[in-house]
Amino acid sequence: PAAPLVFRAAAPFDRAETRRRRAHHLRPVVVASAADAVDTPIETTTEPIKFLKCATCTAVYKITEAELGPTGARVRCAVCGNTWFQTPAKLLTLYDTYELVPYPEENKERFADREANRELRASRDALREKRRLSQSVGVTLFVANLAFDVEDQVLEEVFADTLGYTDGSITASIVREEDGRSKGYGFVSCPSDEDAAKAIDELNGAELLGRDIVVRLGHKK
C-alpha cells in the first residue's frame, strides 16, 4: 500500500444507524425461510473496509485480503520504512464511527528526518568497517592534503591505476567529520610492500583535484 492514512471519529452520526450498519458488516442477510434458502442465494452487504496499521508511526493503509494472498505478505510503511509480515486474519476493520483521512504532512516530515539520520549513521558505520578491514591486511598508506570533494572511490581508482590492479585489491577510506565532511586525509591499503613503495614513489606530490597530495607509510598490521 502506498497512501498512508489515519483514522478519526466520523461526526455527526446516528448511533442507531451505526449499530444497524455494523450488524450488517458482521453477518449476512437472513433469508425468510428454508425454501427461500434453496431457491435464492444468500445476499450479503458491501464488504467492510479492511486496513493495516504500522506499529511505529501509526499510519494506516486500506488493503484487501486478496491483495495479501491466502497466507499473507511482507509490507513496508511508506512513512517510516517499518516492515512486517501481515496476515489477512490480522487485518483491522473500519467501522462507521470512524473515517480515514490523509496522514499529517508534519508527521511525514518528522519520520523522514529520522530515516535520513538512520541512513547517515549506517553510512558512517559502513565507512568505519571499511577502514577497519582495509587496515587489517597488507600495507596501509597515509594520504594527506586531499581536496575536500575527493571520495573513497576516486582515491581507490588513482592508486589502483598506478599499481595496475583491477580486482578490488586496493581499498581507500577518507576520514570524515560526524556530519560526513572530509577531514582532508585518509588511508589506502596495498597488498604488498612493493606496491606501497611504488605508490609512494609515483604519487607522493602528485596533483589530485588541484592539490599536491602527500603519500607515506601509515602502519602495517
Per residue in 91-111, pLDDT (tens digit) is 988 877 777 788 888 887 887
Give the three cell numbers for residue 172. 581507500
Task: Please state, in angstroms and as integers, the Cα–Cα distance from residue 20 to each residue in 25, 72, 92, 216, following that order.
Answer: 9, 31, 20, 82
221 confidence band (pLDDT: 50, 70, 90):
very low
Please give the residue that has the higher pLDDT: either 95 or 75: 75
CA dihedral 78, 81, 82, 88 (to 10 degrees): 30
Q: What percent of the chain has pLDDT over 90?
A: 27
Give φ, ψ of 109 to 5 degrees: -65, -40
Question: Per the omega criterion (within 30 degrees of 0), is the bond before 4 cis?
Answer: no
State the pTM of this model.
0.40
Task: Please state, in angstroms and as integers, the Cα–Cα distance from residue 33 to each residue in 10, 23, 39, 118, following that order.
Answer: 37, 20, 10, 63
**What is the distance of C-alpha 14 from the center of its chain?**
44
Please give the residue that has the higher pLDDT: either 188 or 57: 188
Which strands form 5-9's sheet, in the order they lie side by side? 92-94, 49-53, 60-62, 5-9, 98-102
Q: Which of 19-33, 44-58, 65-79, 192-206 has the highest mean pLDDT?
A: 192-206
The residue-averaged pLDDT of 146-154 equals: 92
Residue 159 has pLDDT above 50, yes or no: yes
